[in-house]
A and B are shown apart, each in its own frame.
Chain A
Amino acid sequence: MKNYFEIVWAIINKDLISELRTKETISSIIIFTVLVFVIFNFTFEPGASYINEIAPGILWVAYIFASVLGLNRTFLPERENNCISGLMLTPIDRGAIYLAKMLGNIIFIFIVVGLSLPIFTIFYNINIFPFLPKLLLVFFLSIAGIAGLGTALSAMAVNTKTREIMLPILLFPLMVPLILAAVKTTGSILQGKSFSEISGWLKLLTAFDIIFITVPYLTFEYLIEE
């Protein structure tokens, strides 16, 4: 068991070192996220009263687009020098590769969220900080779902001719429940509601995460083996 997690951590660590060394992906994705915030801002009157109601939607649209850009890169480092074959030649469990890539994506998306959320609160004039502990749970559940499903689907998309556009085509329809739940729970928390009022949505998010991390974990070897 200890060995298993050492292997998972070795892969996460490798990807993080590699990404943080160039910062290519993360910096461009953060700029992209901020741009989405700015562009959406032009779609309504400055200072309109309904901003509070649509802001959670804008927030999650931005994060889901940003996540797709990040998820698309999940298996690209492994294509360089055909590293994926090197990885497949080692005696490790294929599920460990999935777990590592998924956890890496969770960390990656959290970094994007962490760096862009302050900008969101400034641009949209919504003070999120009193609600931060509650939001953290919702963000974690939602991002785990995005990463769980997205990691598996990006393993499919990486083998297609049009992988950049293939991933959202595969991912978005499946993510409808997650998007609804994320937007609804974020909105309710920002209105000061308690967890008990949104418990249904939280349960749905949890169920989504469990199903769409377990099933890809079990089937990942079929996706990655030749």
Chain B
Amino acid sequence: MDSVIEVKQVSKYFGKKVALNNVNLSLCNSESLTLFGPNGAGKSTLLKIMSTLLHPSAGDVTICGISIHDDKPSIRKYIGIISHDSFLYGNLTAEENLFFYGKLYGVKNLKNRVDELLEKFNLTIHRDTLVRTFSRGMSQRLAIARAIIHDPAIIFLDEPYTGLDPQASDSLTNILFGFHQDKKTMIITTHDLEKGWTTATKIAILACGEIRLLEDKSNIKKENISEIYLNCIKTK
């Protein structure tokens, strides 16, 4: 199988601090990787590098066969990102936010796409409401709609469960299953073992900037995951 995401020997230094140390990772189409790791392990840095926001100090990332050293704009079209920041403009309405990002991604039939997404995420009645009046759950749903406005093949989710109430986080899990059915390739970072486990097909553990574990979920028993996790994040 061809790999959609290929991370080869990526390292990142911030001055003297090593954020990522020789990270290798490879994901095939419609796989869903959950990347566990404590705070400061380098999860966000890795996602930022894969999504072209940061440039690695060493190594290469190829997304759908394109290297980040060659053509960042093309890679950006394949990727949708859901972060703990919503990337939404508070003084714009839900609809205006989606139209704005849709135009920047060059989405065809934008009007239909926006209607479809608002419908899908139960935001149609709020389409003309200013985003700054939205609840956390609503802006999370709109942020997801924003991230997939251009129907990306790959979706990155950086700590998506942070700050959500149980209801909102259940609905997020359902959305993720939906992505899975649509054959999207996903990477989710979290330190919540329970929630990260549900939607994964592959598990990775990142600690101190190193990949300590990379396995298919079928090879790991759910009961053991917390023990494995604790072993992996112990500093060597």
Interface residues of A (CB under 8 A from B): 3, 6-7, 10-11, 14, 17-18, 21-22, 77, 80-83, 85-93, 225-226
Contacts and interface: CB of A to CB of B under 8 A. Distances in A.
B76 A90 contact: yes
Interface in B127-164: 130, 146
Contacts of B146: 86
Contacts of B96: 14, 17
11 contacts: A14-B96, A17-B91, A21-B130, A80-B90, A82-B85, A83-B88, A83-B89, A86-B81, A86-B85, A91-B104, A93-B73
Contact of B104 (A17, A80, A92, A225): A92
Contacts of A225: 55
Nearest to B91: A18
B89 A89 contact: no
Nearest to A19: B91
B105 A91 contact: yes
Contact of B92 (A7, A17, A226): A17
Contacts of A21: 91, 130
Nearest to B131: A81
B195 interface: no
Nearest to A77: B89
B76 to A, nearest CB: 4
Given A10-B100, A86-B87, A89-B87, 7 more contacts: A6-B103, A10-B104, A18-B89, A21-B130, A77-B91, A80-B90, A89-B51
Contacts of A91: 73-74, 76-77, 104-106
Contact of A226 (B53, B73, B130): B53
B91 A81 contact: no
B81 A81 contact: no
Given A91-B73, A91-B105, A85 B92 contact: no
A93 B77 CA distance: 13
B104 A7 contact: yes
B87 A81 contact: yes
A7 B89 CA distance: 17
A224 to B, nearest CB: 11
B201 interface: no
Interface in B38-60: 48, 51-55
A90 B230 CA distance: 37
Contact of B100 (A3, A14, A81, A226): A14
B208 interface: no
B76 A89 contact: yes
B203 interface: no
A88 B73 CA distance: 10
Nearest to A14: B100
A89 B101 CA distance: 10
B115 to A, nearest CB: 19
B83 A85 contact: yes
Contacts of B74: 91
B79 interface: yes
A90 B105 contact: yes
Contacts of A92: 73, 104
A81 B92 contact: no
Contacts of A88: 53
B86 interface: yes
A21 B92 CA distance: 9
Nearest to A92: B104
A81 B79 contact: no
Contact of B88 (A6, A11, A81, A90): A81
